[in-house]
Amino acid sequence: MEQSMRRFMKVGIILHVSYPQLGGGEGPILECLEKICGDDYFEAVEVARMKDREVRKKAAEMIAMAHMVSAYGGQSRTLSAGLNINDLDETRRAMAVDTLKEGIDEAYEMGCAGFSFLSGRYEEDRKEEAFEQLLKSTRELCSHAEKKGKMPVCCEVFDYDIDKKALIGPAVLAARYAGEIRREYGNFGLLVDLSHIPMIHETIEESIIPVKDYIIHAHMGNTVIKSPACEAYGDNHPRFGFPNSENDVEELAHYLRTLKEIGFLNEKDRPVVSFEVKPWKDEPPQVVIANAKRTLNRAWELV
């Protein structure tokens, strides 16, 4: 496409995925963040838990200094603790909601423009019960966020039978879920991810069109699902073009084209669209990030 991608979206990157050593909320957070903030390719950065309040303060100041926007990924708060917001055990469900509420508080503290989370595992024969628990938890999260300000919250659509095995899930169920919550809370939406679409066994259109009215955030990434014997199999977000992987220039172009056709990518209210790319083994983060930027540059030419 001849028009600049910057007219239609704010390109972002997930800090703690590209720099996995930050995943526990500690480590050289500010040093890694400075590399992203100093790169004018990016207008947005997605952060996660930072255990040190002073680090959170300095990170927020750096992001503002760089004239960037930020979003907060709460997924690791439940995943790392083995918690599930649609747990049928009420005590465990409440624990999951509580840690996400803490994440929402941190996101507001840092001036983030959005907060995301994911649904949890479920048993097929008790799927409807899990769905009701998910609705209950999501209402609590939306209410908590709404009381503190205008920051939206969104549920990321994951695989349901390969890696995370999350309830949300297939597009039809994601649309039903988002529709029910949106009727009560205007601050709720869905986060779609190119890397998860092949894992859900759907085409890009099958995954995007049914939920087009609810998408408020998007990720760009890759996955390997051809065989469990393959390197980086599952939800590992390897670089584009990784051996035996699903997504490269053509697939990213198709994804962006579809997001533009449904009006998500637009000039009036440019959304954040972030890379979720992770170095495999000892790959240098900066090389993996450069791979992503080159892939997007070429893909946009094909949109």
Determine the pLDDT at residue 1. 84
What's the confidence (pLDDT) of residue 158? 97
CB 271 within 8 A of CB 264: yes
Please list the rounded mean pLDDT of every run of 10 residues in the chain (303 residues): 95 98 96 98 98 98 98 96 97 98 98 98 97 98 98 98 96 98 98 98 98 98 98 98 98 98 97 98 98 98 97
CATH number of residue 74's parent domain: 3.20.20.150
CB 97 within 8 A of CB 85: yes
Burial (Cβ within 10 Å: 0-12, 13-18, ≥19) of residue 34: middle
C-alpha to C-alpha distances, 214 to 28, 111, 184, 190, 211, nearest whole angstrom: 35, 23, 13, 6, 5
Q: How far is residue 121's CA from residue 47's CA, in Å, rounded to a whole number?
A: 24
DSSP 3-state assignment of 71? strand
Q: How far apart are CA 83 and CA 99, in angstroms?
A: 9
pLDDT of residue 2: 87
**What one-letter code names the amino acid at 4?**
S
Q: Domain limits at 108?
A: 5-302
Structurally, how many domains does the chain consist of?
1
Q: Specify the length of the chain in residues.
A: 303
CB 199 within 8 A of CB 211: no
